[in-house]
Amino acid sequence: MNLKGVVDILGIVLPALILLLGIIGQFSNKRKGHQALTMLSAILLLLVGLMHFYLFPLGNRSTNSDAKLKPVSVSKHSETFNLLFENILNAYYKTTEAFANSDMTAVNQSGNELKTALDNFSLEELKADTLIYETALQPIENARAEVNSVIAAATPAAKKIAFKNLSDNLFNLVSVVHYDVAKLYWLECDAAFGENNPGNWLSKSEKSANPYGQQDCAEVKTNINFVPADTTNKAK
């Protein structure tokens, strides 16, 4: 109970106590005029307190937290769809980091996680929109093929080329299905494979280590933001 509620209750209890003491005083001494005035004041205070309490009961009063509206974002995709897509992205981010660290063993490990995530992902719920479903088929199949190339490639250079192709297809997939759980960033190093030969990758932040090996070569080319506009519901 907040302080205002305590004060409201005291506004009833204290006048009632004064009234009770006044009644007792009527029978204990002869100063009836003074006691009558005290009782009248107590009765008036009690009436005011009761009116205030019943007109504005504690359960119906809005506190600051109750009055605030909390934004609730609602995805157009199912929880399962978003969870499986998140698994893809998390494995992809791990692969990106492994490339940035030039750790090809970690690249293969996270690449296998990404392969599993891609294989487990389904476009089934997108069939309600034939155009989106059919457009998404090619990027997902290409991504599955490219992650196999990342794992199988014999040299770091070949792995990076496969990773570039994988990234391009994941970007297309994100764009087609309108992944709307979080904002993503499409980064580019304009000299990833030599002058004027760029390489791109997805990131969950505007700053990310370059998976192609160059230092200080990362620029945000596109903000990918399909997060729906907030719908406001009163906090419960």
Q: How far is CA 45 from CA 55, 59, 130, in A?
A: 15, 22, 72
Q: What span, in angstroms and rounded, lies between the C-alpha atoms of 103 and 118?
A: 22
User: Across the strands, what pairs with 185?
Assistant: 203, 223
> Are the CB atoms for 197 and 91 separated by under 8 Å?
no
What is the full per-residue pLDDT of the chain (236 aa) written as tens digits? 555 555 566 566 556 666 665 666 655 555 555 556 556 666 666 665 666 555 555 544 444 444 344 444 578 899 999 999 999 999 999 999 999 999 999 999 999 999 999 999 999 999 999 999 999 999 999 999 999 999 999 999 999 999 999 999 999 999 999 999 999 999 999 999 998 899 999 999 999 999 999 988 999 999 999 998 764 443 33
> Are the CB atoms for 102 and 211 separated by under 8 Å?
no
For domain 79-231, give the fold. Four Helix Bundle (Hemerythrin (Met), subunit A) (1.20.120)
What is the token pair recorded at 155?
């040299």
Q: What span, in angstroms and rounded, lies between the C-alpha atoms of 163 and 48?
A: 75
What is the token pair recorded at 36?
């009558």
Give me the pLDDT at residue 235, please: 35
Give me the pLDDT at residue 215, please: 87
| Domain locations in the chain as residue ranges | 3-61, 79-231
Classify burial at 119, counting beta carbons within 10 Å of its beta carbon; exposed 0-12, middle 13-18, buried 19 or more. exposed
Q: What span, in angstroms and rounded, lies between the C-alpha atoms of 127 and 117?
A: 20
> Are the CB atoms for 157 and 188 separated by under 8 Å?
no
